Amino acid sequence: MKYAFFPGCSMESTAEDFKMSTLAVAKALRIDLEEIPNWTCCGSTPAHATDALLAATLPARNLATAESMGLDVVTCCAACYSRLAAANHAIGEDPKLRADVADAIGTDFSASIRVRHFLQVLEEEIGLGEIRDSAVKDLGGLKVACYYGCLLTRPKELSILSDPENPQLMEEMLAAAGAEPVEWPYKTECCGASFSITRTDTVKRLSGDILRMAKASGADCIAVACPLCQTNLDLRQSDIEAATGEKIGMPVFFFTQLLGRALGISDAELGMGKLMTDPSTVLARLGR
Amino acid sequence: MAKPTTIKKLDGSLLAKLDPEGKLNIAACLQCGRCSSGCTMRTETDILPHQMNRMVMLGMEGELLGSKAIWTCASCQTCVSRCPMRVDTPALVDKLRAIAESAPEETKRIRVFNEVMLGNMRRFGRVYELGMMGVYKLKTRDFFSDLAKFPTMLRKGKMKLIPPASKGRGAVARIFDRTGGRGTPRRDANAPHSQGRASR
């Protein structure tokens, strides 16, 4: 299985641990991820909030390279997934947009490829049975709240989940690896996403509610599949605690870090040391 | 919180301007309020999603373009996902943001952040976070928030000192020129988009 891999800007900085753990898990499960040469930013929120053609063209430049490689695109970032998949969908449906995009990037992109999130690849190409069989070190009944946020679940046309209001994909996968996912009601709420810098109080309110609900639901930790969600829940956790004086202490893992641990990959290779909320108590309970 | 509005006359011109082909399905809005009850930003906005749909139908361009709501929308897609008529309010918000020439004081930072991030993308091809934060802090005169986090982020490699180097950066600059996307320095704001600017 070979895919054109689009890391995205966060994977090179705030979510470097997501990239490390994704590549390690892919290698362990024999998924070949070939990084798109000279990839560039998907445009993120500012592009779609500013100009519709720009928002389709920035992803299309990368998709066109993947198309010329004859490979489907895989990304781990939920936001990049959303922008790449939206552009792929829109260009495939609208010949005028396709022509405008071709004009802007200097090559025709026909939207003949598929854009997938890494979770989908694991679901469709690997399957729960193989994950169960490959889990050499199970997660010892770890109580995990799986958090999806917005961009993997909505809108319907781009959702990677069969039930966007109550998804189960990450739960099934981490359960196959030995964890005990908790059922909880906030798994598709918004964390405040791109307002982390511009409306920090909004993010503290929204992400604080998510963290507190996970804790109230009996979770030891949270698993996420989006670098923006991870940043808001993890990096902002100390600010959330400082605002109310309460201690939350909820480690926020990328789902690939937990999956990687079950596959026997070392904490160093999974970038565990990069998490801001100390995961050592939770990890120590699982043993070496 | 949202406040009541007074309608003076009906006017379909704004809808025709924003969605000439009817792709966003705004006219199908039933005013059921399902969107607004689930809106992430419902307690911080001044116009709720179902009100926004109606205001577009009524041509209330000035009220919409001057609203906080078009900037506080988190683009979480909850409204359109739950809408029984598939009215695409988030896409409508994007179209309103694209033609708005300014943002109310309380939401100015969001608009500034968008411009700064696009400028950063245009220059580096990928987002260079440290550079982006520096420019954003200069523009908003907000020098101190989150500064205490920087050393830990640098130590953990969650923020890089050195800008990303993608050979695609020239291609990205050309995309900005050719699509007319913003993200160019302020002094260029009124320059024609597709001419006269050297591509790298």
Fold of domain A2-117:
Glutathione S-transferase Yfyf (Class Pi); Chain A, domain 2 (1.20.1050)
pLDDT value at residue B1? 61
Q: Is B53 on the interface with A (CB under 8 A)?
A: no
Residue B191 pLDDT exceeds 60? no
User: Is B74 close to A103, i.e. CB distance below 8 A?
Assistant: no
Task: List Cα–Cα distances, A34 to A71, A98, A118, B102, in angstroms.
Answer: 9, 26, 13, 42
Of B164, B174, B179, the CB nearest to A53: B179
Q: Model confidence over A72-131: pLDDT tens digits?
A: 999 999 999 999 999 999 999 999 999 999 999 999 999 999 999 999 999 999 999 999
User: Is A12 close to B160, i.e. CB distance below 8 A?
Assistant: yes
Of B76, B94, B95, the CB nearest to A190: B76
User: Is A104 close to B97, i.e. CB distance below 8 A?
Assistant: no
User: Is A156 close to B81, i.e. CB distance below 8 A?
Assistant: yes
Of B81, B127, B180, the CB nearest to A51: B180
Domain residue ranges of chain A, discontinuous segments joined by +: 2-117, 135-286
How many cross-chain Cβ pairs, A to B, lie less than 8 Å apart?
168
Paired strand residues for A221: A144
Which architecture, in CATH terms, is A135-286?
Answer: 3-Layer(aba) Sandwich (3.40)
The interface residues of chain B toward chain A in range 72-131, judged by CB-CB distance below 8 A, are 72, 74-78, 80-81, 88, 90, 94-95, 97-98, 109-110, 112-115, 117-118, 121, 125-127, 129
Q: Is B34 on the interface with A (CB under 8 A)?
A: no
Task: Give yes or no for a contact between A236 and A271, defined as CB atoms under 8 angstroms apart.
Answer: no
Domain residue ranges of chain B, discontinuous segments joined by +: 13-99, 105-188
Q: Model confidence over B48-95: pLDDT tens digits?
A: 999 999 999 999 999 999 999 999 999 999 999 999 999 999 999 999
Residue B192 pLDDT exceeds 60? no
Q: Is B146 on the interface with A (CB under 8 A)?
A: yes
The token pair at A178 is 């030995």
User: Is B74 close to A274, i.e. CB distance below 8 A?
Assistant: no
User: Is A41 close to B127, i.e. CB distance below 8 A?
Assistant: yes
Neighbours of A32 (CB within 10 A): 11
Provide, rounded to the nearest whole percent, the portion of chain B with pLDDT above 70.
86
Q: Is A154 on the interface with B (CB under 8 A)?
A: yes
Q: Is A54 on the interface with B (CB under 8 A)?
A: yes
The whole-model pTM stands at 0.93
Instruction: Give mean pLDDT, residues A195-224.
Output: 97
> What is the β-pairing status of strands A221-224 and A252-254?
parallel
Chain A residues closer than 8 Å to B200 by CB: none
Helix, strand, coil shares of chain B, percent, nearest 5, are: 50, 0, 50
- Rounded-to-integer distance, Cα B52 and Cα B42, Å: 12
Q: Model confidence over B4-33: pLDDT tens digits?
A: 767 667 788 999 999 998 899 999 999 999
Q: Model confidence over B142-178: pLDDT tens digits?
A: 998 999 999 999 999 999 999 998 999 999 999 999 9
Task: Give yes or no for a contact between A92 and A64, defined as CB atoms under 8 angstroms apart.
Answer: no
User: Is B118 close to A46, i.e. CB distance below 8 A?
Assistant: yes
The token pair at B30 is 């039933």
Amino acid at A114: R
